[in-house]
Every structure is written in C-alpha cells, then in structure tokens.
Amino acid sequence: SFRPDPYLNGEGAFETITGIQSVGVMACAKHSIANNQEHWRYGYITEVDDRTLHGEMYYHPFLRSIEVRDFNGTSSCHNAPLIGPNGILWRDGFHGISCDSATCSLGAIIISDWGATHDSAAGNANAGLDMEQPGDYILIGA
C-alpha cells in the first residue's frame, strides 16, 4: 500500500509493476483484496460490504494491478469470502477457486503466499497454482 487513498494505491501498483517488468523481471502483486491483518491472518475472515469493496477501497488497486499490459504474477489471498462458488469474486465474474484465478485469463502465473498452501497437492494444482512458496511445503513434499 502506497497511501490510504485507493486511487493512488491503484496508480502506484500499476506504475510499480510496469517499471519492474520493463526490465524483464517478473512482478508479483501481493495480498490482492481485503488482506488487512497479518497477526492470525489464517484464522480470520474479512467481512466487507459491497460499497467498501467496489466503490471505496479494495477493487481499484487490485484491478489496476492486473491491467498492466504484461502482468504475469500474483499471490494468493486468504480471505474465505472471496473464494468458492459463493465468494465475492466468483459472483463478480472472476471464476475460479482462488481470487488469483481472476488473472488466469491474462496468462498470469499463480504463486502461493509463503506457506499458504493448505490443500492437498492435487487440490492446489487443480485450483491453478503454478508455484508454491517456499517451494516444498505441500506440492513437492507430498
């Protein structure tokens, strides 16, 4: 996050990713939507109303980060309301198991957050996970 302002965050994300990828380095936009807490982040659910999600805070920076022409990486998110057939992103047309699947149509590489793969190796692979961090946590170690 660059500033409390969602517009500036979106523009900052767009320009940062553009700059990083202009020299051939893969950028990875992390903690896409509504990841506001690091302490106990695996055990909480973020509840966000539509006005806050779409109009005031979260969507603009995320959407700007995937609008970069050569966007090629993102990180998984942990918030249960975003995923699955009843999740916010599913309802809004980003179909897939995780919020990262929103970028699949752009040819993105799906990268887990550090130690965030908690499903089976087959479940993670079938969900579209391309790269697991730190590398042998579930997929390789299973």
For residue 61, count CB atoms less than 10 angstroms from its CB and return exposed for 0-12, middle for 13-18, buried for 19 or more: buried
Chain centroid, CA 68 distance in Å: 15
Active site residue: 113, 119, 130, 136, which one?
113
Collect all residues with Cβ–Cβ distance below 8 Å to 80 and sequence separation of at least 6: 45, 87
Residue, of 79 and 134, whose pLDDT is higher: 134
CA distance from start to end of the chain? 35
Task: Give the pLDDT score at 76.
Answer: 44
Report whether the peptide linkage leading into residue 134 is cis, meaning its omega lies within 30 degrees of zero.
yes
Task: Give the pLDDT score at 90.
Answer: 43
Mean pLDDT for the stretch of residues 77-94? 46
52-62 pLDDT per residue, tens: 877 777 778 87
Q: 113 an active-site residue?
A: yes
Mean pLDDT for the stretch of residues 56-84? 61
Residue, of 7 and 84, whose pLDDT is higher: 7
Task: Give the pLDDT score at 128.
Answer: 66
Looking at every residue in the chain, the average pLDDT score rounds to 66
Range among 12-16, 42-46, 119-123 with highest mean pLDDT value = 12-16
Task: Give the pLDDT score at 60.
Answer: 80
Domain ranges of the chain: 1-18+43-71, 72-142
